Amino acid sequence: MNRGRTAVIVGAQWGDEGKGKIVDVLTQTFSVVARYAGGHNAGHTVIINGKKFILQLVPGGILRPGCISVIGNGVVLDPLAFLKEVASLRDAGVQIDGNLFISNRAQVILPYHRMMELGAENAPGRVKIGTTSRGIGPAYEDKMGRRGLRVADLLDTALLRTHIENACREKNMIGHALFNSDPLDADKMFKEYSDAAQKIAPFVCDTALLLNQAIAEGKSVVFEGAQGTMLDIDHGTYPFVTSSSATSGGAVTGTGVPPTSIDTVIGITKAYCTRVGGGPFPSELLDEQGEDLRKRGNEFGAVTGRPRRTGWLDLPLLRYAGMINGISWLVVTKLDVLDHLTEIPVCVGYKIDGKATAEVPAQACGYEKIECLYRKMPGWATPTQDVRTLEGLPKPAREYLTFIEKETGARVGMISTGPDREQTILVPEFVSQLGLKEIKSPAARA
Ligand code: IMP
C-alpha cells in the first residue's frame, strides 16, 4: 500500500495569515489534521451554521465529520482551556469523541506559568514582548529545562501531586522574589488539575504512533502550524517571537513524523502584512493607510482582541520564509482588502546602511536599520469577493499574484477573497498536485 500524502501548512509572516481556511479546504480530502506547536495563544475564527468559533487548541479538522484531529507533542496544553474549548464545540453539536487525540508527550501549562509570564512582562527593565499572557513561554522554558509536566504525568495522580507541590514551592519563591507575585495554592491547584486530568484521559494516546500508522495505511495528513515564520523561536524576529518552532521543521519534532514523510509545504501569506505584539516590522504603516488596512481587514487579534499592526507586503521576508520552510505553494489570503486601491506599494528589497541586502538581520536592532525599497503595483479598484476563478480576477490582481510568484519562486495555489468558505479561488494545478482530485470548490459543498 502506498503511504498517505502529507502537507505542512505554515504561516509565512507573523501569524494570523488565515491558516484555518486552507486547513478547512484540505480536510475535504485529507483524513487527519495534526497541530504541532504553540498552545492556546493561537486562534482561528471559523463560522459554522452562522455560529462563530475561535479554535485555539483543537485542530481545524474537528469541524469536518470523520476527520481525525491530533494535538501533537510539540504543543503546550492548558487542560482547562482545552476542556472549555471542547465543551463549546460539543454545545454546538460538533462530534468530538473518537475524533480528537492528545499526545501523551505534550507539555502541560499550569497556573504558575501564567504567574511568571505576567510578572516578567510587567517587570521594569525587562524587554516587553507583548505576549498573549497564556503562560506559553514559561511552559516551554520548563520543557527545555527538563522540569516540565507532560500529559502522561498529568494522568499519574501521585506524580501530579508531587510535581505541583514542588513546582509551586519553587515558583512561589521565585515569583515573590522577582515580581512580588501572590503565592499560588498547591492543594487547590492539585484538585483542579486532577479533576481535569480525568476528563482529558480519554483523549490521550501516543500520537506519534497514531500518525505514523495512519500515514503507513495510506491516510493523508495535514500538519497545522500555529503562529508564523517570523514568530519562530529560532528564525523569527528574536526575542520578539513565540517560544516554539512555528516553521515547517516543527511539524517533524512536534509530532514524531520523520522529515522523509513530509511531501509538501504550503505557506500562507496575507496580500499585505500584519503583526500583533511588539517587535520589528520593516514595512509597517503608522499612518492613516495603516489604519485603513486595519479597518478594512478587521485586523484585531482573535485571542486577545488587540489591534494588529499593519503594513505592505514584504517580499524579502516572504523569500526568507520560503527558504526556511521549503515552501512550494503559497496561499494568498485577504486579497479583497486591497480591492479599493488604485496603487499598491510592495516592499521588494532592503537597504541596510545604504547598501542593498538579500539578508534578513539576526538582531532586532538590525531590523531598525532597514530601509524598505518599494515598488508600486497597479491596483484593481474592483471588488473581488465574488470571484471564483483566477481568470475572473481583474488583470492587475492577477499581475499582483504573478509578481509574488516571480519574486518568491513559489506558485500561488489558492487565493482567499473573503471570510466565508466559498470566497476561495483554487488553482487547478494545486488541486491536482496535492492529490485533491475529488476536491470541490467550497461553494459546491453542502
Ligand atoms: P506568546 O506566544 O504568547 O508567548 O507571545 C509571543 C508573541 O507572539 C507576541 O508578540 C504575540 O502577540 C505573538 N503571537 C502568539 N500567538 C500568536 C498568533 O496566533 N497570532 C499572532 N501573533 C501571535
Q: Same domain for 236 and 333?
A: yes
The yes-or-no answer on residue 263 being catalytic is no
Is residue 1 in some structural domain? no
Give average pLDDT by consecutive 10-residue segment, the chain, 446 residues.
94 95 89 97 75 87 94 98 95 93 98 96 89 96 98 98 98 96 97 98 98 97 97 97 98 98 98 96 97 96 89 98 98 98 98 94 93 98 95 98 98 92 90 69 39
- Are 211 and 175 in the same domain? no
Residue 151 and residue 167 in one domain: yes
Span from the CA of 40 to the centroid of ligand 1 (angstroms): 10
- Write out the E strands in 254-369: 264-270, 273-275, 309-311, 329-333, 343-352, 355-357
Spatial distance between the Cα atoms of 28 and 21, rounded to a whole number of angstroms: 12
Instruction: Please tell me whether residues 35 and 126 are part of one structural domain.
Output: no
The pLDDT of residue 193 is 98
What spacing in Å lies between the alpha carbon of 426 and ligand 1's midpoint?
29
pTM: 0.95
Assigned domain for 426 exists: yes
Span 422-438, pLDDT tens digits? 889 999 999 998 876 54
101 domain residue, yes or no: no
pLDDT of residue 50: 67
Same domain, 88 and 188: no
Residue 332 and residue 227 share a domain: yes
SS3 70: strand
Q: Mapping DSSP to helix (H, G, I), strand (E, B) and coil, where does residue 356 land?
A: strand
* Residue 248 and residue 186 in one domain: no
Helices of type H across 201-328: 207-216, 249-253, 288-296, 315-325
From 202, 233, 258, give the residue that closes a domain: 202
Residue with CA at minimum distance from ligand 1 atom 12: 277
Residue 294 included in any domain: yes
Domain of residue 118, residue span: 107-202
State the CATH number of the domain containing residue 145.
1.10.300.10
For residue 140, report the distance from its CA to the centre of ligand 1, in Å. 14
Q: Whose CA is nearest to atom 10 of ligand 1?
A: 277
Q: Sort strands 424-426 and 411-416 into parallel, antiparallel or unpaired.
A: antiparallel
Cell of 81: 482551556
Distance separating alpha carbons of residues 364 and 344, to the nearest angstrom: 27
Same domain flag for 166 and 180: yes
217 and 132 fall within a common domain: no
CATH number (domain holding residue 328) = 3.90.170.10
Last-in-domain residue among 202, 222, 249:
202
Of 168, 202, 236, which residue sits at a domain end? 202
Let me know if residue 228 belongs to a domain: yes
Q: Ligand 1 test: best mutation among 231, 238, 299, most atoms within 8 Å of CB?
A: 231
Q: Would the CB of 132 count as within 6 Å of ligand 1? A: yes
- Given a contact cutoff of 8 angstroms between Cβ atoms, the answer to whether 211 and 3 are in contact is no
**Residue 285 and residue 341 in one domain:** yes
The number of domains in the chain is 2
- Indicate if 315 and 332 belong to the same structural domain: yes
The ligand 1 atom nearest the CA atom of 38: 2
The answer on 177 and 282 residing in a single domain is no
- Domain presence at residue 244: yes
Residue 445 has a pLDDT of: 37
**In a domain? residue 313:** yes
421 within domain boundaries: yes
Is 40 part of the annotated catalytic residue set? Answer: no
